């Protein structure tokens, strides 16, 4: 079994923070050739280059950035261990880095993430939003603990990822007061009616179009939106009917002053927690999954 040399890791961590071997040598009070030799040994033991030279600068490689994240956690925990042994407060703060795909409605994301705040009184949550491929790349580099998405991971990444189904629900259709009459004769009432749809890259958009065809209705598409909150804002202004997951009916009606004109269970919106672990272990992620399955989608 090969063992990680933590002295070598300390030299790497110091160089990465200082930005150069020269500055690190001053901080460590070691000769530059000594530090260079230790870095080379660390790279050989890991089997990857950790730095690459760009002009006079040392720049971390992709593997180097991953190693740095682990090194920061290792030495942070080491300081906490020393403080605990000395009878000082540990100051440990539970952290959660979470990615949310940009097609998930903000109200759904808020309800999914909320249980994480109950896992620790001083938890610190970092949320990043973006397209699924970009978030999966960050997950592969261990920059994120979990990704919340409306579709399972099928993108090629450098490591395997696992899809954990949180739940699924039907779809509700909403309209401002001036379009509330469309609730009579739903779904036939949608034929020729103005609708606001998510962007064509959304899985929900494709499901809606298939459902419209099955119902033999041809609504007038007056807007396509990447941002679900902006879509609802225009729906609030009465520009068209819009759809959202049924689990947030009450919040949508209250926040955007709209009413439900119809519902369908034929369209399922699914939500997943994507992780690099076959079994979820982070306490905040476990809380998200358990609450979603037992309460939110029950």
Is 187 a residue whose pLDDT tops 90?
yes
Q: Does the predicted model carry a pTM greater than 0.85?
A: no
CATH numeric code, 95-167+271-296: 3.40.190.10
Mean pLDDT over residues 206-229, rounded?
A: 94
d(CA 180, CA 33): 76
Classify residue 234 as left (phi > 0), alpha (psi -120 to 50) or beta.
Answer: alpha
pLDDT in tens, 236-268: 999 999 999 999 999 999 999 999 999 999 999
| pLDDT band (50, 70, 90) for residue 201 | confident
pLDDT of residue 1 exceeding 50, the answer is no
- Name the token pair of 8: 């070598």
- Sheet containing 259-275: give its strands across: 124-130, 95-101, 146-149, 259-275, 162-175, 241-245, 194-198, 220-225
| pLDDT given at position 288 | 96
Which residue spans of the chain are classified as CATH 3.40.190.10?
Answer: 95-167+271-296, 169-268
For residue 296, give Cα distances in angstroms to 23, 94, 100, 138, 228. 53, 24, 17, 27, 20
> Percent of the chain having pLDDT more than 90?
53
Q: What is the pLDDT of residues 129-164, one digit of tens each?
A: 998 889 998 888 888 999 999 888 875 555 678 999
Task: Dump pLDDT digits (tens) for 48-69.
Answer: 999 988 877 788 999 989 999 8
Instruction: Outline which parts of the chain fall under CATH 1.10.10.10.
Output: 6-85
The third-level CATH classification (topology) of the domain covering 169-268 is: D-Maltodextrin-Binding Protein; domain 2 (3.40.190)
Query: In angstroms, rounded to a whole number, what is the distance separating the alpha carbons of residues 46 and 8?
Result: 11
pLDDT greater than 70 at residue 211: yes
Q: DSSP per residue over the chain, as a string?
A: -----HHHHHHHHHHHHHSSHHHHHHHHT--HHHHHHHHHHHHHHHTS--EEEETTEEEE-HHHHHHHHHHHHHHHHHHHHHHHHTT-------EEEEEEETTS-HHHHHHHHGGGGGS-TT-EEEEEEE-HHHHHHHHHTTS-SEEEESS---S--SS--EEEEEEEEEEEEEE-GGGGGGGTTTTGGGTT-EEEEE-TTSHHHHHHHHHHHHHT---EEEEEES-HHHHHHHHHTTS-EEEEEGGGHHHHHHHHT-EEEEEEEEEEEEEEEEESSSS--SHHHHHHHHHIIIII--
The domain made up of 6-85 has a fold known as Arc Repressor Mutant, subunit A (1.10.10)
pLDDT for 86: 59
């Amino acid at each position: 079994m090969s063992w990680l040399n933590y002295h070598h890791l300390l030299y790497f961590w110091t160089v990465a923070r200082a930005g150069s071997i020269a500055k690190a040598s001053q901080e460590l009070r070691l000769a530059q050739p000594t530090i260079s030799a230790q870095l080379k040994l660390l790279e050989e033991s890991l089997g990857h280059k950790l730095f690459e030279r760009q002009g006079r600068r040392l720049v971390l490689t992709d593997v180097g950035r991953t190693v740095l994240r682990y090194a920061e956690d290792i030495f942070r925990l080491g300081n906490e261990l020393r403080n605990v042994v000395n009878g000082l407060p540990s100051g440990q703060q539970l952290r959660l880095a979470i990615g949310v795909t940009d097609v998930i409605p903000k109200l759904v994301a808020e309800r999914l993430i909320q249980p994480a705040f109950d896992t620790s009184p001083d938890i610190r949550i970092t949320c990043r939003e973006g397209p699924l491929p970009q978030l999966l790349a960050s997950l592969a580099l261990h920059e994120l603990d979990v990704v919340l998405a409306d579709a399972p991971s099928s993108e090629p990444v450098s490591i395997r990822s696992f899809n954990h189904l949180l739940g699924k629900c039907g779809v509700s259709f909403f309209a401002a007061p001036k379009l509330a009459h469309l609730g009579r004769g739903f779904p036939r009432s949608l034929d020729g009616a103005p609708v606001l749809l998510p962007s064509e890259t959304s899985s929900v958009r494709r499901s809606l179009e298939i459902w419209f065809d099955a119902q033999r209705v041809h609504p007038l598409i007056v807007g396509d939106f990447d941002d679900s909150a902006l879509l609802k804002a225009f729906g609030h202004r009465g520009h068209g009917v819009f759809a959202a997951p049924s689990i947030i009916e009450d919040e949508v009606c209250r926040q955007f002053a709209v009413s439900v004109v119809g519902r369908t269970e034929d369209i399922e919106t699914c939500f997943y927690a994507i992780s690099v672990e076959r079994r979820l272990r982070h306490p905040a992620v476990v809380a998200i999954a358990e609450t979603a399955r037992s309460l939110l989608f029950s």
